[in-house]
A and B are shown apart, each in its own frame.
Chain A
Amino acid sequence: MTNFLTRRGAALLAMLRVWRATLSLTGEVVVAALSPAVYNSATRTVVMKQIYFTAVQILVPFTLFAAILSFVLIQIVVGTAAKYGLSEYALEMVVRLLVLEVLPLVTALFVALRSGSAINTEVALMRINNELEALEDSGVDTLRLEFMPRVIGGMLSVLSLTAITSVLALVLAYLAVYGLQPWSLPDFTRVMGQVFGGGILAGLGAKALVFGLAVTVIPVAEGLATPKMMFMAPISVLRGMVRLFFVLMFIEVASLAFKYI
């Protein structure tokens, strides 16, 4: 019994330690990102590479996927609303559903799967292979040169992908509701004005940035917490992805609760 409790307690403490490490890393990264002195050509190159691998490479297929997903959801919502005589609310519902919730979350999940897992593996391997210590010993600030650029790159990528897919979804929503003609723009604008208040816009931007932060910081933190054993690398990635999933969902639920409760 005591043994069980001790083990549980130890596990809990380990978990808390990882969370604390994650939070402190987040703080460090944000502070570093906000100090202009860290930006030099080396940092910029890492940021650009991160953006390239996270956003540019997948831009076309991901945008296509987002367009198809948006189109299907729009058709479902508009069709259902028309069936119940609620067509006038269809557009608002579509915009709230896609632009405010689904697309940012899908983008974050996609980036988490593609880049988050990669970052987690890379950092875990670097840690197992003592590369990080080696870098630090040679006077390289790993936080500034390795982690902070990845985080910034991830955040910018999520923001960028969210913006592109959201605007595309708005265009598709207009076409689905009003058809291919420009005369309903005032109507559309009125609904947009109803949906996008200042708070909602700020919340959307903040949510995209926090998603980007989570998608990169959590894998980095999890990788850094990997015990220095080769077989721990997959476990580190697994843990990092599960943790990332829950964090993303928690952010989503928190944003929903903040908006509608």
Chain B
Amino acid sequence: MERAPISPAPPVPRAPLIKNLEFKIGLLLALTVLLIAAFFAYALYARGAFQVSNKLILTAEDVEGVSIGMPISYSGFPIGKVSRLHLLDDGQIQIELAIPREDARWLRESSVFTLEKALVGGAKIKAHTTNLQDPPLADGAVRPLYTGDSTKDIPVLIAKVKNILANVETMTAAGAPINQTLDHVEVMTGRMAGENGLIGGLMGSPEDARKVVKALDRADTLLASLNGVSLKVDGVLSKVDRRLFDQHGVMDQAQLAIVNVNAILGDARESLKKADAILANAQTASKDLTQITGNVAEATTDMGRLRLDIDDSLRKVNHLINEINKKWPFARDVEIKTP
């Protein structure tokens, strides 16, 4: 405190060294204030401070990846953003979205909202509107948010893919059954393409194939001769038919023979009647012995004649039967014999 002041004046005299100092500083400060104020206003505008927006509430069970300020997009265009998130007492989560009025027209009563999570990058809330003619979605509407989490299925998918790959590996390994089968198929198709064609492929060795071909040839020949045989049989059958059923065929003749038989049987009946009469005479004759003895000669003569008649009738019948037998191929030993 006892020292005298060395330089009583502040370093003001240096000021004139700078030209337009005040103007330059004023300019810089004005620019700074302008930039800060403009940016602040822009940030407020960007935050939606000057925007009238509709409220949309989406309910979901899990909002992992959803954050405040996250956009909701319609056809890839952001039309609003998440403004609040709250967890309700029942475990449901409400996502409050602010949709600016001019973008609210993209949301209709029938709109569907989904939350999609990708492998890389954050989750995305998407709005899907199929019919833009539907009535617009009301301010403050509550809608469910459907979540499609593609990453959830990945572990299961990987396990399955591993199995499939293991199978494929077994299948493609050297000496695998399917490879052998394919080899065999190749050999077979090679044979099929060869001289003996399909048969060669089926039979394996060319000798066997040739045998089969020969067998087929023989079968062909056999079939041809069988055809001839059947033609002949046809001819025979038609002949038989003719012999049997034509106007002068066997059947006709048989019919005639039967008529003859009837006539012959009539003759036989007549003869038997005569025999009856003779027997009656014989009875009468036995009553009177003398008469009998007297008439024996006569009777025996009559008896001889009768016998001749009967024999004659029987011969006729026999002959007839033989005739029938000749014409009718029924092997039957028929003979009418006199007692």
Give A residues with C-beta under 8 Å from B: 42, 45-46, 48-49, 51-52, 55-56, 59, 84-86, 88-89, 130-131, 133-135, 137-140, 145-146, 156, 159-160, 163-164, 166-167, 187, 189-190, 192-194, 196-198, 201, 205
A48 touches B120 (CB 8 A): no
A160 touches which of B14, B31, B71, B121 (Cβ 8 Å): B31
Nearest to B18 among chain A residues (CB) is: A52
Residues of B1-30 at the interface with A, using a CB-CB cut-off of 8 Å, are 1, 3-8, 10-12, 14-15, 18, 21-22, 24-25, 28-29
A51-B25, A52-B18, A189-B46 in contact; A167/B39 too (CB < 8 A)? Answer: yes
Which residue in B28, B35, B81 is a CB contact (below 8 Å) of A56? B28
| Complex: chain A residue closest to B4, CB-CB | A137
Asked, given contacts A56-B24, A84-B120, A190-B71, whether A46 binds B10 with beta carbons under 8 Å apart, the answer is yes
Given contacts A49-B18, A52-B21, 7 further A-B pairs with CB under 8 A are: A52-B24, A133-B3, A135-B7, A163-B35, A166-B39, A190-B78, A194-B81
Residue in A56, A85, A194 whose Cβ sees the most chain B Cβ within 10 Å: A194
Q: Could you give 19 example pairs across A and B, Cβ below 8 Å?
A: A46-B11, A48-B22, A49-B14, A49-B21, A51-B28, A52-B21, A52-B25, A56-B24, A59-B28, A89-B122, A138-B7, A138-B8, A167-B35, A187-B78, A189-B42, A190-B46, A190-B81, A197-B47, A205-B36
| B contact residues vs A (CB 8 Å cutoff) | 1, 3-8, 10-12, 14-15, 18, 21-22, 24-25, 28-29, 31-32, 35-36, 39-40, 42-43, 45-48, 69, 71, 78, 81, 120-122
In whole Å, how far is B16's beta carbon from the nearest beta carbon of chain A?
11
| Min distance, Cβ B300 to any Cβ of chain A, angstroms | 147
Contact pick for A156, options B6, B32, B45, CB 8 Å:
B32
- Are B3 and A48 in contact (CB-based, < 8 A)? no
Partner among B6, B8, B15, B122 whose Cβ is within 8 Å of the Cβ of A45? B15
The 10 A-B residue pairs with the shortest CB-CB distance in the complex, in nearest-first order: A138-B5, A193-B46, A134-B6, A160-B32, A196-B43, A192-B46, A194-B69, A163-B35, A189-B46, A193-B47
Kindly state the separation between the CA atoms of A187 and B71 in the bound complex, as whole angstroms. 11
Query: Is there an interface contact between B10 and A145, defined as CB atoms closer than 8 Å?
Result: yes
- Are B120 and A86 neighbours in the complex by a CB distance under 8 Å? yes
**Is B47 a contact of A140 with CB atoms below 8 Å?**
no
Flag if A89 contacts B25 (CB, 8 Å): no
A196 and B28: CB pair below 8 A? no
A193 touches B43 (CB 8 A): yes
Partner of A134 from the list B7, B43, B47 (CB cut-off 8 Å) is B7
A86 contacts across to B, CB distance below 8 A: 120-121
B contact residues around A187 at 8 Å (CB): 78
Task: Specify which of A84, A86, A133, A137 lies most central, judged by the most chain B CB atoms within 10 Å of its CB.
Answer: A137
B45 and A189 contacting across the interface, CB-CB below 8 Å? yes
Instruction: Determine whether the beta carbon of B28 is less than 8 Å from that of A138.
Output: no
User: Is B6's CB under 8 angstroms from A138's CB?
Assistant: yes
Contact B28 A55 (CB under 8 A): yes
A133 to B222, CA, bound (A): 143
Q: From A131, which residue of chain B is reached at the shortest CB distance?
A: B6
Chain B CB count within 10 A is highest, among A48, A89, A189, for: A48
Contact B43 A45 (CB under 8 A): no
Q: Most chain-A CB neighbours within 10 Å: which of B4, B10, B78?
A: B10
Bound-state Cα–Cα, A52 to B40, Å: 26
Given known pairs A51-B28, A84-B120, A187-B78, the reply for A140 and B10 (CB within 8 Å) is yes
Assembly CA distance A46 to B13 (angstroms):
11
Bound complex: CA A197 to CA B31 (Å): 23
Residues in B whose Cβ lies below 8 Å from that of A164: 31-32, 35
**What are the residues of chain A within 8 A of B69 when measuring CB–CB?**
193-194, 197
Contact residue among B5, B39, B43 (Cβ-Cβ distance under 8 Å from A137): B5
Nearest CB to that of B78 among chain A residues?
A190
CB distance from B113 to the nearest CB of A (A): 19
Chain A: minimal CB distance from B303 (Å): 142
Shortest beta-carbon distance from B108 to chain A in Å:
22
Contacts of B8 in A (CB 8 A): 138, 140
Q: Whose C-beta in chain A lies nearest to the C-beta of B118?
A: A85
Separation in Å of the A123 CB from the closest CB of chain B? Answer: 13
> Which of B6, B14, B25, B47 counts the most chain A CB atoms within 10 A?
B25
Residues of B within 8 A of A42 (CB): 10, 12
Cα-based distance from A167 to B69 in the complex (angstroms): 22
